[in-house]
Amino acid sequence: MLRIGLTGGIGSGKSTVLAMLADHGAAVIDADAISRGLTAIGGAAIPAVRQSFGDAFIAPDGSLDRDRMRAHVYAHPAARKQLESIIHPLVGARIRHEIEQAQQAGRRCAVLDIPLLVESGHWRSEVDRVLVVDCDVQVQVDRVMARSGLSHAQVQSIIAAQAPRALRLAAADLVICNERITLEELRELVAQAAKSFGL
């Protein structure tokens, strides 16, 4: 089974492309959704998070207190590494399990939506091809501001924290340029990509 790593900056249209690839029959594996599940009520990561960080980082409902943890890991890089050492192995195991399930179901292609695909040397070796959804930075800013209500400075800060556009493009085996095109034109580009993936 072909394993495609999907990446793109915030506001690039990656989620739209992912949904279109699913419509073509690709198995979709979402690392963020897996991570959220691991830190939800009763999630597999909660006991280790509680042990490492204490009850202050667990919400009253038993899930991870995301706001508190986000503030903590941004202020303390060592805490970020500690949290990642808990979450990443669990996410990796779940992704591998979902790939195995997709293979057993006879899927020809799995698309792995992994936010740190380019930044993480580990995940690049786990996929056969890298698909980058790309657009100009100003297009990203405009899209994110329109959908989220974040300020220009906040969006720029998020973009600055992600892999640089040039780094993503350098890692790409295939690029879908998602700017100044219609949704129908995007569908056609995705259909061409899907065909190249055997879908």
List residues forming the annotated binding site for ATP.
11-16
Contact indicator for 49, 58 with CB cutoff of 8 Å = yes
Is-contact 198 108, C-beta < 8 A? yes
Backbone angles phi, psi at 130, to 5 degrees: -115, 125
> Do 130 and 124 contact (CB within 8 A), yes or no?
yes
Contact 34, 95 (CB under 8 A): yes
Cα(196)–Cα(68) distance, integer angstroms: 43
Binding positions: 11-16
Is 173 strand, coil or helix?
A: coil
Q: Partners of 4 in the beta sheet?
A: 111, 129
- Measured between alpha carbons, how far is 114 from 177 in angstroms, rounded to an integer? 19
Q: Map tokens 């740190």 to a residue.
A: 116
Instruction: Calculate the alpha carbon distances from 48 to 38, 40, 51, 58, 76 in Å.
Output: 11, 13, 5, 11, 18
